[in-house]
Amino acid sequence: MSPSRKDLHEALVELDGHVLRLRNLDKVLYPSEGTTKAQVLDYYARVAPVMLPHLAQRPVSRFRWPDGVAAGSFVEKELPRGTPEWVRRVTVESPGSTRGHDQVTYPLVDSLAALTWLVNLAALELHVPQWQVGPRGAVRGPDRLVVDLDPGAPAGLAECAEVALLVRERLADDGLQPVPVTSGSKGMQLYAPVSGRQDSDTLRAYARRLAEHLARERPDLVVSNMAKALRPGKVLLDWSQNHGKKTTISPYSMRGRPAADVAAPRTWDEVEDAASLTQLHHSQVLRRVAERGDLAAALLEPGPRVPTA
């Protein structure tokens, strides 16, 4: 991303044949470490080659922090006024809607220009559903199963890693090959590619059976019930994230937390070394991508059907 004019505050860049004006580049978005908007834009530009395939054809919900992570934030789904005509879009029932049939026009982020345009609006977090849309905007069946691991204090990432290994074993018994992603927040997610030929309710029922089985098998460590009173010291295996109206943080997205950490794909060797497992900073993720490429590339290939009983 080479700006045609650059100073501490503003720059013009040409990306994919489109000229974008990037503003407030010197604004500090992560006060605890001094990370500026320019550094955030640089991260997304450099990680785009591996991130864009995970965003492709998925409506993107944005979590925006216009004044930085120490200030307020808001969730944006509908495309805002002034969206450039060249930004691809799709109108579907809102993945996050709880009111029935809310139709929302979302961006489809398929280029560095579109990604940069969103991040320039201080969209630090990009969330997507487990399904894609077809070329005419029709919603397809989910092509990913997600198991969200959410620790209740004093449990942390080490306990999530222990549960992740239990989940991997059970999924492998059913022919599924999960990819671990530390969330950049407290816990982690496991994603497994699936066929895309089953609906969200089928995947959610499968994930619920898995969660309830592990909660019975390891009641000292795992809970499947979302009641907060049951969660201290344990890991919630959140099966509900497979609902067709829910979204999860995209792999490689930054987080709106005090540190500029990232939802980062990991290796199973790292997960097995639970005591050393930590969330990863965006600078670490860039080095890893340069050295190892996309550790979540397996999610871009179709997987098997999940068992239905």
Q: What is the pLDDT of residue 229?
A: 85
Q: Summarize the confidence of residues 37-59 as an average pLDDT.
A: 98
Q: What is the pLDDT of residue 214?
A: 98
- Is 144-300 the same fold as 3-128? no
Which pair of tokens denotes residue 248? Answer: 């999860």
CA atoms of 161 and 158, how far apart (whole Å):
5
- 27's CB contacts (< 8 A; 6+ apart) are 36, 37, 68
Residue 264 CB-density burial (10 A; 0-12 exposed, 13-18 middle, 19+ buried): buried
Residue 5 reports pLDDT greater than 50: no
CA atoms of 215 and 46, how far apart (whole Å):
40
Residue 277 reports pLDDT greater than 60: yes
Residue 98 reports pLDDT greater than 80: no
Select the more confidently predicted residue: 81 or 8.
81
Residue 75 reports pLDDT greater than 50: yes
Q: Among 3.40.50.720, 3.40.50.300, 3.90.920.10, 3.10.350.10, name the CATH number for the domain at 3-128.
A: 3.90.920.10
Domain regions of the chain by residue span: 3-128, 144-300
Q: Which of 42-46, 166-170, 184-188, 228-232 has the lowest mean pLDDT?
A: 228-232
CA atoms of 269 and 260, how far apart (whole Å):
24
- Partners of residue 21 on adjacent β-strands: 12
Share of the chain above pLDDT 70, in %: 95
Residue 1 reports pLDDT greater than 90: no
- 7's CB contacts (< 8 A; 6+ apart) are none
Cβ atoms within 10 Å, residue 244: 17
Q: Among 3.20.20.70, 3.40.50.1110, 3.30.70.3300, 3.40.50.40, name the CATH number for the domain at 144-300.
A: 3.30.70.3300
Q: What is the pLDDT of residue 2?
A: 43
Confidence of residue 96 (pLDDT cuts 50, 70, 90): low
Query: Which of 57, 60, 90 minimizes the C-alpha distance to 75?
Result: 60
Q: What is the pLDDT of residue 100?
A: 55
pLDDT tens digits along 219-263: 999 999 988 888 999 999 999 999 999 999 999 999 999 999 999
Average pLDDT taken over every residue of the chain: 95
Residue 6 reports pLDDT greater than 80: no
| Radius of gyration, alpha carbons of the chain | 19
Q: What is the pLDDT of residue 161?
A: 98
Contacts of 280-286 with CB under 8 Å at 24 or more apart are 280/182, 280/184, 282/35, 282/40, 282/43, 282/47, 282/254, 285/43, 285/47, 285/252, 286/43, 286/46, 286/47
Residue 285 reports pLDDT greater than 60: yes
How many residues are recorded in the chain?
309
pLDDT tens digits along 121-163: 999 999 999 999 999 999 999 999 999 999 999 999 999 999 9
